[in-house]
Amino acid sequence: MQTLFLILQIAIIGTLLGAGFYFANKRLGSYFASRPHLKFRYQLMQIGGILLAVLLVILFMPFGDTLRGQLLGLYGLIISATIALSSTTLVGNIMAGLMLKAIGNCRPGNYITVGDYFGRISEMDLMHTEIQTEERDLTTLPNLYLVTHPVRVMRQSGTLLSVDVSLGYDVSRHRVEKLLIQAALDVGLESPYVQIRQLGDFSVSYQVSGLLTEVKNLIGKRRDLRARTMDLLHNAGVEIVSPNFMNTRAVDKNQTFIAEAEQQPYAPAYAQSPDSLIFDKAEKAASVSNLREKLAEIEARIRDCDTVLADPASAQAQAAATAEKEQQQRRAKRLSALITSKEAKISEE
């Protein structure tokens, strides 16, 4: 009789817990069905629900205190071992997914480059990240792969678009730079600049770069930049020699292949250094760091004033310390507001 009652009790508790878990999961499934962007949260809640269900089974099943304590100890041991082995198991992807979510630098719609893969994120969940490549195919990457490899994320505020071209030494670099900058401007790039990447044995390697603010047009703009560069150079009679090739010509032995000299003083090509465009976020972060150092100096000075006020040598010293403290507190307040503002702008980019 006691055994039958125990079986009945187990069946009732199991049925109640199973029904509760089933209806909760069904309700959550219908809620998140129309919210695909919250799929990550849904999967996390499912895992949490399973762990909670197992714990409730151990707590409410009619087990003896000794057996219940052993089961709880085993449950905790399994959870601990799973987390400890997460770097090489399926749970590793879950941990990596949580890490990516906490960092927050990758979001659906971002262009990313990781390893040999380049594409735009189309989906992120607890186990994997899906990217759409230039061929329109969908590539699924385990979250663990993203955590263990450097990930380059294209900033939504804009990215630098570049094209490399090799030209002969007989073409003036001043002429080349004007043509390349014009090509970048024609396709709508901002703040274009030209770098001389290499002085090779047979040709000079140039790179023209410009800021593309509409990153969603990356593929089309990259094609436009390459096409416009080729058109302008060909229309100007400039021969493109990339990849390198050997062109044998019969020429006079005294003929030299040097661009026609232009009698003009050297001047920087750009009013603004390309570095400030390339490393703008790093510059802003450095600015915030410098402001924090100034804030720390002001706070140290305020503490010095508090020390003087705690045991003033004279009424005059007390008045001076009070005035200086008030002045430094106003400076600290302004600096704190400025730091908060700069950090907010950096995080928005």
- The H helix count followed by the E strand count for the chain is 10, 8
Going by their DSSP bridges, the two strands 190-199 and 204-212 should be labelled as: antiparallel
For the chain, percent of residues with pLDDT exceeding 90: 12
> Residue 37 carries which DSSP code?
G
**339 membership: H or E segment, kind and range:** helix 315-348
Span 268-282, mean pLDDT? 59
Span 61-86, mean pLDDT? 78
- Tokens representing 263 are 């009698």
In CATH terms, 159-247+256-273 corresponds, of 3.30.70.100, 1.10.10.60, 3.50.50.60, 3.30.390.30, to: 3.30.70.100
pLDDT beyond 50 at 278? yes
Span 302-322, mean pLDDT? 86
Q: How confident is the model at residue 209, as a pLDDT?
A: 93
pLDDT beyond 60 at 268? no
Angstrom distances, CA of residue 47 to CA of 16, 31, 157: 19, 17, 36
pLDDT band at 266 (very low <50, low <70, confident <90, very high): very low
Could you state, in order of their start, the residue ranges of all structural domains in the chain?
2-84, 103-153, 159-247+256-273, 279-348
Q: How confident is the model at residue 67, as a pLDDT?
A: 79
- Tokens representing 144 are 């663990």
For the chain, percent of residues with pLDDT exceeding 70: 82
Average pLDDT over the chain, rounded to whole?
Answer: 80
pLDDT tens readout for residues 121-174: 888 888 888 888 888 888 899 998 998 899 998 887 888 999 999 888 888 888
Alpha carbon dihedral 216, 221, 223, 224, in 10-degree steps, equals 160
3-state secondary structure of 124: strand
CATH architecture of 103-153: Roll (2.30)
Distance of CA 200 to the CA centre of its chain: 35
- Tokens representing 323 are 């005035």
